Amino acid sequence: MTGLDPRALRTAFGTFITGVTVVTARTKSGAPLGFTANSFTSVSLDPPLVLVCLANTSQNYGSLVNAAGFAVNVLAETQVTVSNTFARPSDDRFAHIAWSDGPYGAPIIDGVSAWFDCKMYRVIDAGDHAILLGEVKAFDSTTAPGLGYARGAYVMPSAATAAMTTQSDLVVSVLIERDGHVLLVGDGVGGVTLPESVVGKDETVSSTLQRLLSETKLSAEPGFIYSVYEDTARRRQHLCFLCQAANGTPAKGAFVPLSAGCWDDVTDPATLTLLERFTAEAKVGSFGIYYGNQNSGEVRAIV
């Protein structure tokens, strides 16, 4: 390894929003194999080429680099479970999913946004990974929205959009993180909370988010959706964005370190739960998206 910090480099790579795929193939004995990958890209139209990257340490390495071909299954945003299944160790990852053989022989998973069945074109050694170049022999696509991934978390745009339309009042908040600290501001009742605002009549979610960031006077960049939850008691829908900030002094509030003892002044239980979850996830560098209400819900993330 060079003098670069590998954790910081991985985090920087993770800012690039990618799709989520499952790469499949068959061993020499004919057994199906597959793994979750976001290192997929199109390369050429003539000839039609795509590539994926495979870690040298992968248990599938020997079988993949020697396979006659492989398929890339672009997962739909409803297929988080499929992604998790192929990201974790398992004796049979295909046991509980629906799939069939593609025209060129690699397994094709049912319900994906698109698939590409490829002949192996070339294997290129690239440091601690191998680049698998595939020549597309057959493909198909649907209108199903694709599953995204960035900063260690899934991105599901249409699911978030649907959630935003269920209440008359929509509140946007920002979880601004910098060097292990989070920006908190006064909540007007003697406690602290995240910077937040109701989306105005002539505003959009995007413009409200930009306004909140601008009001901090920080060089902060809009990030991905971190939490979508319904406050049933107050009939409000909350949409929280996780954002990164550069150096600078905020116009209001202060940065508080990520530790349980620093949340004593957070008066809103839902915000407190959000901050406690973020503290735990920041320790491992893997973040999820919360869907639910102020009391209970589901965190969807790659484990």
pLDDT single digits (tens) 66-90: 999 999 999 988 888 899 889 887 7
Q: What is the mean pLDDT of residues 175-198?
A: 89
Nearest to 271 by CA among 173, 170, 124, 186: 173
Q: What is the mean pLDDT of residues 4-17?
A: 69
Looking at the chain, list the stretches that DSSP marks H as alpha helix, in order from N- to C-terminal side. 6-13, 61-65, 80-87, 157-164, 205-216, 269-284
Q: What is the mean pLDDT of residues 187-199?
A: 89
Q: What is the mean pLDDT of residues 222-231?
A: 80
Minimum mean pLDDT range among 51-55, 125-129, 286-290, 298-302: 298-302
Q: What domains appear along the chain, each with residue ranges and CATH number?
A: 6-150 (2.30.110.10), 156-300 (3.90.79.10)
Whether the pLDDT of residue 288 is over 60: the answer is: yes
157: cis peptide before it, omega within 30°? no
Which pair of structure tokens corresponds to residue 198?
């109701």
Question: In this predicted structure, what is the pLDDT of residue 13?
Answer: 65
pLDDT single digits (tens) 132-157: 999 999 999 886 778 877 666 677 65
For residue 28, CA distances in Å to 63, 65, 96 come to 7, 11, 23
Whether the pLDDT of residue 102 is over 90: the answer is: yes
Q: Partners of 219 in the beta sheet?
A: none
The CA distance from 174 to 28, in Å, is 51
Residues for the chain: how many in total? 303
pLDDT class for 250, splitting at 50, 70, 90? very high
Backbone CA torsion sign across 94, 95, 99, 101: positive
For residue 266, CA distances in Å to 83, 233, 262 come to 35, 19, 9
Nearest to 295 by CA among 275, 277, 273, 280: 273
Whether the pLDDT of residue 294 is over 80: the answer is: no
For residue 254, CA distances in Å to 24, 66, 71, 194 come to 48, 55, 50, 10
**Full-prediction pTM beyond 0.85?**
no
Phi/psi at 227 (nearest 5 deg)?
-155, 135
Whether the pLDDT of residue 162 is over 60: the answer is: no
Give the three-state DSSP class for 298: strand
267 and 276 Cβ atoms separated by less than 8 Å? no
Mean per-residue pLDDT over the chain, rounded: 83
Question: In this predicted structure, what is the pLDDT of residue 192?
Answer: 92
Minimum mean pLDDT range among 73-82, 217-226, 264-273: 217-226
